[in-house]
């Protein structure tokens, strides 16, 4: 049968032979998406299924809307499990072109990374920075992959109740960016504006689910955190690098509230995040006991960026120009550095990459 598609790049229309001749078949929505292989051709030709057929004339807007809906709800076909990618910033005789942020987002295994608690915060922070300023630089495939991974992040928080505050901030930044880029129905992003409006609705639904999240109280018959000696509880508090975590933990019991208000604890937190600031370092040296270090922390937080700390990060090899996930346990056992390095001393070439540095690698 001859090709009768609208576009030479499309697979063409589906047709069936009837007594009146050939008729074109259009499946409405996703009615046959899951059971496509189980439906017999006789059922399609049966006169009782007239709702499966349409006439020769079809409204262009209706067809376009169905196509947009399908594209928006189809999972990305670009599935990679690579743990490293070569970062190329210019053309050479051996390699042509350059590596983009979207390509790195597609090829690096972020779907598996979010299942690792050491890497979850890193990926969430990276996605937050992309949502703030880099959405317009992503290709269509990278955008689809971005939202597929984002959906997995939200589902993990809903199921495991892990760090919902960070994901709420991520969705809020993403929602603000999309609202500013889709003003008055005009979209400067890759893709149809209807797709982005559907994604905005999905983001609002995720935000509602996270706001309604109720963490169940765990019934523990053994020793709990409050049963530990006070010096151990205090030592655990000193390991926290996030002020919000300290404040939230201090609301659990009166004892923890007293420990969380310790001025020495907030002094250590200030020095951890802002030790490179002369003002903070000078106050610490003078040993002035009248300084309210908790107030000082929130004052400095408004003017200076805080030090980021992650359980595991992406690494960059300066010798090979390769960005990769480094599995520390596997490296110790198999002497595998996570990528095909040719240096004599691979450890000396490795450099941990922060989320912001990750984005800066692709700014040419």
Residue 215 has pLDDT above 80, yes or no: no
Burial 299-326 (b: 16+ CB within 10 A, else e): ebeeeeeeeeebebbbbbbeebebbbbb
pLDDT higher than 50, residue 202: yes
Do residues 337 and 326 lie in contact, with contact meaning Cβ atoms separated by under 8 Å?
yes
**Which pLDDT does position 59 carry in this prediction?**
44
Using DSSP's 3-state secondary structure scheme, residue 183 falls into: helix
Distance between CA 313 and CA 316 in Å, rounded? Answer: 10
DSSP alpha helices (H): ranges in 51-192? 60-73, 101-107, 110-113, 117-133, 140-160, 164-181
Quote the pTM value: 0.68
Q: Which of 47, 38, 60, 59 is nearest to 16 (CA)?
A: 47
User: CA-CA distance, 174 to 176, in Å (whole number)?
Assistant: 5
Q: Which letter does DSSP use for residue 108 in this model?
A: B
Integer Cα distance of 45 and 52 in angstroms: 9
Confidence of residue 131 (pLDDT cuts 50, 70, 90): very high
Cβ contact 256:234 at 8 Å: no
Q: Any idea where the domains of the chain sit in the sequence?
A: 80-213+308-363, 241-301
- Report whether 240 contacts 185 (CB < 8 A): no
- Name the DSSP letter for residue 215: P
Q: Kindly report which listed range (63-72, 146-155, 289-298) carries the lowest average pLDDT score.
A: 63-72
Instruction: Find, among 358, 249, 353, the residue nearest to 310 by Cα.
Output: 353
Which of residues 183 and 337 earns the better pLDDT score? 183
DSSP-derived secondary structure letter, 307: P
Q: pLDDT by residue (tens digit) across 222-258?
A: 777 788 888 898 899 988 888 888 998 888 888 999 9
Give the distance, in angstroms, between the CA of residue 109 and the centroid of all CA atoms in the same chain.
12
CB contact set of 19 (below 8 Å; sequence gap of 6+): none
Written as six digits, the tokens of 299 are 């004052």
Give ∠ CA 224-229-234 in degrees, rounded to 5.
95
Lowest mean pLDDT of 11-20, 70-79, 91-100, 163-172, name the range.
Answer: 70-79
pLDDT tens string 333-358: 334 555 667 777 777 788 888 898 88
Instruction: For residue range 49-80, list pLDDT tens digits in order.
Output: 444 444 443 444 455 555 555 455 545 444 45
Query: CA 260, 261, 265, 271 torsion: positive or negative?
Result: positive
Contacts of 336 (CB under 8 A, 6+ apart): 327, 330
Q: Identify each DSSP E strand in the chain by its residue range.
A: 14-18, 21-25, 84-86, 314-317, 322-325, 350-353
Query: If you average pLDDT over residues 156-179, what whole number do you get?
Result: 90
């Amino acid at each position: 049968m001859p090709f009768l598609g609208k576009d030479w790049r499309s697979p063409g229309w589906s047709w069936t032979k009837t007594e009146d001749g050939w008729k074109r078949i259009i499946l409405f929505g996703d009615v046959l998406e899951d059971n496509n292989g189980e439906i017999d051709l006789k059922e399609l030709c049966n006169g009782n299924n007239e709702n499966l057929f349409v006439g020769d004339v079809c409204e262009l807007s209706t067809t376009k809307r169905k196509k947009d809906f399908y594209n928006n709800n189809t999972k990305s076909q670009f599935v990679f499990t690579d743990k490293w990618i070569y970062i190329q910033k210019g053309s050479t005789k051996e390699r042509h072109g350059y590596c983009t942020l979207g390509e790195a987002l597609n090829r690096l295994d972020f779907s598996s990374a979010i299942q690792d608690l050491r890497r979850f915060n890193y990926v969430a922070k990276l996605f937050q920075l992309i949502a703030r300023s880099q959405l317009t630089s992503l290709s269509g495939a990278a955008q689809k992959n971005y939202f597929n991974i984002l959906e997995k992040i939200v589902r993990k928080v809903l199921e495991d109740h892990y760090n919902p505050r960070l994901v709420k901030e991520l969705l809020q930044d993403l929602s603000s960016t999309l609202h500013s880029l889709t003003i008055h129905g005009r979209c400067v992003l890759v893709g149809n504006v209807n797709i982005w409006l559907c994604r905005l609705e999905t983001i609002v639904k995720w935000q509602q689910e996270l706001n309604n999240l109720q963490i169940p109280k765990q019934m523990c018959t053994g020793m709990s955190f409050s049963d530990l000696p006070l010096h151990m509880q205090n030592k655990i508090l000193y390991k926290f690098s996030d002020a919000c975590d300290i404040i939230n933990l201090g609301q659990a019991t009166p004892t923890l509230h007293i420990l969380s208000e310790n001025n020495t604890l907030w002094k250590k937190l200030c020095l951890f995040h802002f030790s490179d600031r002369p003002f903070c370092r000078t106050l610490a040296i003078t040993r002035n006991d009248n300084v309210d270090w908790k107030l000082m922390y929130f004052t400095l937080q408004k003017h200076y960026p805080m030090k980021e700390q992650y359980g595991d990060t992406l690494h960059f090899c300066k010798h090979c120009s390769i960005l990769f996930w480094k599995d520390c346990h596997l490296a110790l056992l198999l002497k595998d550095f996570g990528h095909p390095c040719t240096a004599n001393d691979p450890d000396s070439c490795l450099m941990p990459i922060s989320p912001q540095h990750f984005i800066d690698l692709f700014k040419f």
